[in-house]
């Protein structure tokens, strides 16, 4: 009331207590109480001082003293609740409260609480309150939260013992319910509980359930937010329990489909399939209740990821994991997997090429490099590949992956038309780059060709079914080579266009303005540029100065053949410009 009143001095010997000066008719007495107490009884005059109002109003409650109209009686204190009695307590609370015959007010509640505390601690007495103790504006339930609120004056050793023992008991007990008598949440110990978990029978409030649900890593039921013996409770709250305590709108928001992905327990003895939240590092399997590490894809309780990897590598090196039956089983699984034409993805993933979330079954795991890629990106890579051999477009660290994509994987993502075009491109490339003697069918527009030995003289084309003469490089069915060559000369005399073309090429070769590729015998004409050339047909590297191959039969770098330019510091030809 008075602004100039001095603050109550703090207790010297107990940080949890305080000294309250008596406000009755100028009495100089005082009392020592908990800091959470609402009233204190003076040791000298035995009158009660209200801590909140800093006044002595024994015949009035706080509300009446301050001129506030309130009902005459407050709610009766709620009964003590044990864990085994919690089932059905939600239905019983209203009937227990309505049917109680206990008198209202916080004095009766405080007397009962202090009586229970004294009885449980074995000795000591508590001063009886006077007949006309004021009724506080607070309910008895509010007062029960503070055991030992009313105690003796400073220096009362027995009251001090009760306070210390109650505080110690409250810290060591499993739940404040055992001290206060109010059924509180077993997770936060602050709010009144709203639900009893069916599996573990923990009392939980809606706020703790919702807060824990926001952190849930497994779709469906969630783990209990309470703790048992300083460890997280392994009990689960089922889906129907969540529907009873969380609003449908909130539950739908937390269960957004794009936030979850398919998964399974990494314990081989369990392998339970379920959905988990994307991006989580660890989760608890709802079936076996074991902690799974998403990063290591393993169960390594009690070990960090680094420790598990070190142990796993050490076990592999020592052969401890080489169980013959397990090894045989894994080998059979790998064989069965690789015998499939292609391996479909079994989980949602982000394609590293288009950066789009790909649904399960819409991507491929490439067998050679194990990269995951969506079917569309792989198809586009195959259609735009400059060569017939399609390479994986993914990255291996900072470098491009150079592993080839298998034909069966290309067939799985390409249409029939695109796959046929890729096959045709591959045939043309194989013909042009072959280092063995090859021959293309002489039937106009036929795509057939073959690789042949030096003694082979006839090629039966499997595409057009025509017989080709490799010696004459022509088709002359039912004619000998001599008859065909004689007939060719006769026709050339009457075909001016054929004769002109033949004469032009022969003249270019004769004057060294053209050369034949030593590999595929295609005529190559040089218009400008340096002496280094590449055959457009078979990609063989050529030396224009010597009119031959640049390298030996071993390919690039082989100086056992070719022009041998620069070997021993000698040019390959007097006209060589050493540009190759």
The count of other CB atoms within 10 Å of the CB of residue 46 is: 16
Q: Which residue in the list 354, 481, 530, 579 is annotated as catalytic?
A: 530
Number of alpha carbons in the 13 Å side-chain half-sphere of residue 379: 14
Dist CA 326 CA 333 (whole Å):
10
**Cα 554 from chain centroid (whole Å):** 50
Cα-Cα-Cα-Cα torsion 383, 386, 391, 394, nearest 10 degrees, comes to: -80
Contact 89, 80 (CB under 8 A): no
Report yes or no: 529 and 424 within 8 Å, Cβ to Cβ. Answer: no
Residue 106 contacts by C-beta under 8 Å, 6 or more apart in sequence?
A: 38, 74, 135, 136, 138, 139, 140, 142, 143
For residues 267 and 292, is the Cβ–Cβ distance under 8 A?
yes
248 exposure class (CB count in 10 Å sphere: 0-12, 13-18, 19+): exposed
458-460 and 449-451 as β-strands: parallel, antiparallel, unpaired? Answer: unpaired
- Answer whether 248's CB lies under 8 Å from 255's CB: no
Of 198, 152, 201, 142, whose CA–CA distance to 174 is shortest?
A: 201
265 and 271 in contact (C-beta within 8 Å)?
yes
Burial label, 532 (beta-carbon count in 10 A; 0-12, 13-18, 19+): middle
- Token digits for 516? 């034949």
Question: Which DSSP letter does residue 324 get?
Answer: H
431: nearest Cα among 514, 552, 519, 517: 519
* Cβ proximity of 274 and 219 under 8 Å: yes
**For the chain, how are helix, strand and coil distributed in percent, rounded to 5?**
30, 15, 55
Q: DSSP 3-state assignment of 104?
A: coil
530 carries an active-site annotation: yes
* Distance (Å) of CA 364 to CA 147, 278, 344, 398, 498: 66, 20, 5, 22, 54
The Cα–Cα gap between 81 and 185 comes to 12
**From the centroid of its chain, how far is CA 485?**
74
| Catalytic positions | 530
């Amino acid at each position: 009331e008075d602004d100039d009143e001095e603050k109550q001095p703090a207790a010297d010997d107990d940080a949890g207590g305080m000294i309250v000066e008596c406000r009755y008719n100028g009495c100089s007495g005082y009392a020592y109480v908990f800091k959470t107490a609402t009233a204190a009884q003076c040791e000298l005059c035995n009158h009660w001082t209200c801590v909140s109002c800093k006044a002595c109003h024994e015949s009035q409650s706080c509300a009446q003293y301050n001129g506030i109209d309130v009902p005459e009686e407050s709610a009766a204190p709620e009964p003590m609740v044990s864990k085994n009695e919690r089932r059905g307590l939600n239905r019983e609370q209203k009937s227990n409260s309505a049917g109680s015959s206990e008198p209202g007010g916080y004095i009766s509640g405080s007397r009962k609480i202090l009586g229970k505390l004294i009885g449980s601690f074995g000795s000591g007495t508590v001063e009886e309150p006077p007949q006309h103790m004021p009724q506080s504006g607070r309910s008895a339930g509010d007062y029960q939260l503070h055991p030992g609120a009313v105690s003796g004056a400073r220096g009362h050793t027995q009251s001090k013992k009760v306070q210390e023992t109650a505080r110690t008991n409250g810290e060591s007990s499993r739940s404040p319910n055992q001290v206060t008598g109010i059924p509180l949440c077993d997770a936060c110990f602050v709010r009144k509980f709203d639900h009893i978990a069916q599996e573990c029978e923990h009392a939980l409030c809606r706020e703790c359930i919702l807060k824990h649900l926001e952190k849930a890593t497994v779709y469906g039921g969630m783990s209990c937010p309470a703790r048992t013996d300083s460890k997280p409770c392994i009990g689960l709250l089922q889906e129907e329990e969540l529907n009873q305590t969380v609003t449908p709108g909130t539950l739908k928001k937390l269960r957004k489909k794009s936030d979850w992905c398919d998964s399974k327990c990494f314990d081989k003895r369990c392998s339970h399939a379920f959905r988990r939240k994307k991006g989580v590092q660890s989760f608890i399997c709802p079936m076996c209740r074991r902690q799974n590490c998403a990063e290591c894809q393993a169960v390594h309780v009690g070990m960090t990821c680094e420790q598990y990897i070190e142990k796993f590598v050490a076990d592999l090196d020592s052969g401890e994991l080489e169980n013959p039956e397990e090894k045989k089983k894994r080998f059979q699984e790998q064989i069965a997997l690789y015998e499939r034409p292609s391996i479909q993805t079994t989980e949602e993933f982000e394609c590293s090429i288009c950066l789009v979330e790909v649904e399960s079954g819409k991507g491929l795991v490439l067998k050679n490099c194990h990269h995951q890629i969506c079917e569309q990106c792989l198809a586009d890579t195959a259609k735009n590949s400059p060569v017939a051999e399609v390479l994986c477009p993914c990255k291996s660290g900072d470098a491009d992956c150079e592993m080839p994509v298998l034909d069966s994987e290309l067939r799985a993502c390409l249409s029939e038309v695109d796959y046929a075009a890729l096959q045709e491109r591959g045939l043309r490339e194989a013909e042009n780059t072959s280092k063995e003697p090859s021959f293309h069918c002489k039937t106009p527009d036929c795509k057939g060709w073959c690789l042949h030995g030096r003694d082979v003289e006839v090629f039966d084309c499997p595409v057009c079914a025509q017989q080709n003469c490799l010696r004459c490089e022509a088709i002359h069915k039912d004619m000998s080579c001599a008859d065909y060559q004689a007939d060719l000369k006769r026709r050339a005399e009457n075909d001016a266009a054929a004769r002109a073309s033949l004469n032009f090429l022969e003249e270019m070769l004769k004057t060294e303005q053209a050369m034949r590729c030593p590999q595929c015998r295609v005529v190559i004409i040089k218009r400008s540029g340096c002496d280094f050339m590449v055959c457009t047909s078979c990609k063989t590297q050529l030396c224009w100065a010597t009119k031959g191959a640049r390298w030996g039969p071993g390919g690039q770098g082989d100086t056992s053949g070719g022009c041998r330019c620069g070997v021993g510091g000698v040019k390959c030809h007097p006209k060589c410009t050493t540009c190759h």
